[in-house]
Amino acid sequence: MSKRILTCTLNGRRHDGVVPGNILLLDYLREKLLMTGTKTGCDGGECGLCTVLIDGAPILSCLTLACSVEGKSVETIESLEQGGRLAAIQEGFHVKLGSQCGYCTPGYIMAAEGLLRRKREPSVDEIKDALGSNICRCTGYVKIIEAVQYAAGKIRDERPARAA
């Protein structure tokens, strides 16, 4: 399989790599870059464990060729904590006990982060819709929804909407 030069932004920094044309973004992140925060589960678009943000929108990295992110911004779970400070959505999962075994959590967090960038005050239905591609075997989902609501509230508190 031929190789390609890949230039993208990875977690806020320019990234240059050489990738086989057929390598999945999930495998590139985990196996070549050793960024194992992004989890692997079904490898077939069914579980959401592998969710990352591409240009700010959640995508399943198990269904995405690494070479297809050329020129784009890729964000993984490793990008969210800044200087020892958790992102609001990470804090939400911690405070609301949105994780149990934690294996699904990075995928949920990235899917929720994508939603929170689009919606300051998502409804429960909007949260369920945004997280509909993700599966958790432990939590029963209620705590996960509460975690997203907590994060949305924290973001609104920290960044009040400008008056019209």
Q: By the criterion CB under 6 A, which residues form the site for ligand FES?
A: 40-43, 45-50, 60, 62, 99-104, 136-139
Q: What is the torsional sign of CA 70, 111, 87, 116?
A: positive
Q: How far apart are CA 34 and CA 37, in angstroms?
A: 9
Burial of 86: CB neighbours in 10 Å, binned 0-12, 13-18, 19+? middle
User: Which candidate, 39, 63, 52, places its Cα nearest to that of 136?
Assistant: 39
> What is the closest distance, in whole angstroms, from the C-beta atom of residue 97 to ligand FES in the complex?
10
Comparing CB distances to ligand FES, the nearer of 51 and 79 is 51
Q: Which is nearer to ligand FES, 41 or 156 (CB)?
A: 41
> Min. distance of Cβ 5 from ligand FES in angstroms?
25
Smallest separation (angstroms) from ligand FES to the CB of 105? 6
Q: What tokens appear for 45 in the block?
A: 């678009």
Question: Closest distance between ligand FES and the C-beta of residue 89, in Å?
Answer: 15
In the bound state with ligand FES, the residue whose beta carbon lies nearer, of 17 and 41, is: 41
Of 35 and 156, CB closest to ligand FES: 35
57, exposed or middle or buried, with CB in 10 Å at 0-12, 13-18, 19+?
exposed
